[in-house]
Amino acid sequence: MKVLVIGKGGREHAIAHAASKSPLVDQLYAAPGNPGTAQIAENVAISDSDVEGLLRFAKEKAIDLTIVGPEHTLALGVVDAFEKEGLKIFGPTKAAAQVESSKEFAKKIMMKYGIPTAAYQSFENKEEAIAYVKEQGAPIVVKEDGLKAGKGVTVAQSVEEATEALEIAFAQEGGKVVIEECLRGFEFSLICFVCNETVIPMEIAQDHKCAYDGDQGPNTGGMGVYSPVRRITPEIIEETMKTIMRPMAHAMVQEGVPFTGFLYGGLMLTENGVKTIEFNARFGDPEAEVILPRLKSDFVDVIQQVMAQQECKLDWSDDVTLGVVLASAGYPASSTKGAVIKGLDALDAQVYHMGTAMKDGELVTDGGRVLIVVTQAKTLEEAYAKTYAEIKKIDCDCLFYRNDIGKKDMN
């Protein structure tokens, strides 16, 4: 098979890595890919926003299967365009991708089908939004509508903080927000392979969204992650599948927007059971970087079976994977580019490239989140020790990372 992976981050590096292990794959392309995917696939210089260019390439090369990484490519309608030309592509249509791109679309379906989630109200008027926050009190959550790469969310601990977030949201053109009840509990991610009503769960991962140790600082795209998550037992997973993931796939079929692709449940284990924080229309990043290395089944074969709507059982390694993100100084507010990274060859770990580039023959930083270092071990404690020991071998003075990934789940 000829397989194309669309995207250029750590998630796409992990997806390409999993696909590269499949005996079904003869030729693997990444568009545009990154210096990491270049080691396992052929990078093609087509932007992940250039739907026409991607389509032309896939037709020209007679690509048998395309796997979409990023949400913005989905929101641009890449799946609709490929399907129209009869090309096989794993991802949701533009309409189905709204489960992520529009908070309101997702909330309306959850309410209609009784899928547990935080109470909410949406606003297009700043004064009304501020009045609502004052009436509800803190803590309260303010979310800008639309794709924000995990950054348009403020979990406000005071009315003042919420008001400030509203001022920022409404200062933008066409400002629209969703204000939500603040859920308390233990957060986890459950990602499923989905095609219509076929829903196959993967193993659980826990992301760390805040920039700094102790869950302090601004929300980011994710600073570190591990899998599996001890506290999320098979019973809890079954409850989540029964009350959230399968009902959502069913609801989308009922609503005429059937979902194909990776359906990501951002979930909270609360005192009153599991509740949905959000759905994403694609694999999590950095979740993919710790979940996929544990998958022993043939990744490409699984996607094909799911697309044929066949139930299949996934085979997983019992090991724990733990990944720590190295981000550019200043992330998420700003980021520096072009700092030289040395020492990666010495690492006894899987390193996925999130935001790197080659410049004058050297690897340099090229974005907010730069690398994720992942190791695998028998226990979470061992994986923690191993990943942090390996990170120390990286030589770059413009990077920072959290020191407490996985700590909350240790005894």
Binding to ligand AMP by CB under 6 A, coded x per residue (else -) over 27-46, reads --------------------
Per rule CB under 6 A, is residue 356 in the interface with ligand AMP? no
Which range, of 4-12, 180-188, 285-293, 329-337, touches ligand AMP by CB under 6 A?
180-188
Per rule CB under 6 A, is residue 150 in the interface with ligand GLY? yes
Per rule CB under 6 A, is residue 69 in the interface with ligand GLY? no
Nearer to ligand AMP, 187 or 239 (CB): 187
Task: Please state, in angstroms and as integers, the Cα–Cα distance from residue 80 to each residue in 50, 77, 194, following that order.
Answer: 14, 5, 17
Which range, of 79-87, 114-122, 124-132, 281-289, touches ligand GLY by CB under 6 A?
281-289
Per rule CB under 6 A, is residue 355 in the interface with ligand GLY? no
Nearer to ligand AMP, 164 or 381 (CB): 164
The one among 207, 289, 298, 390 contacting ligand GLY by CB under 6 A: 207
Per rule CB under 6 A, is residue 227 in the interface with ligand GLY? no
The one among 64, 180, 287, 366 contacting ligand AMP by CB under 6 A: 180
Residue 148 Cβ vs ligand GLY, minimum distance, rounded to whole Å: 10
Per rule CB under 6 A, is residue 367 in the interface with ligand GLY? no
Per rule CB under 6 A, is residue 406 in the interface with ligand AMP? no
Give the phi and the psi of residue 240 in degrees, each rounded to 5.
Answer: -65, -40
Residues in touch with ligand GLY (CB under 6 A): 150, 207, 222, 280, 284-287
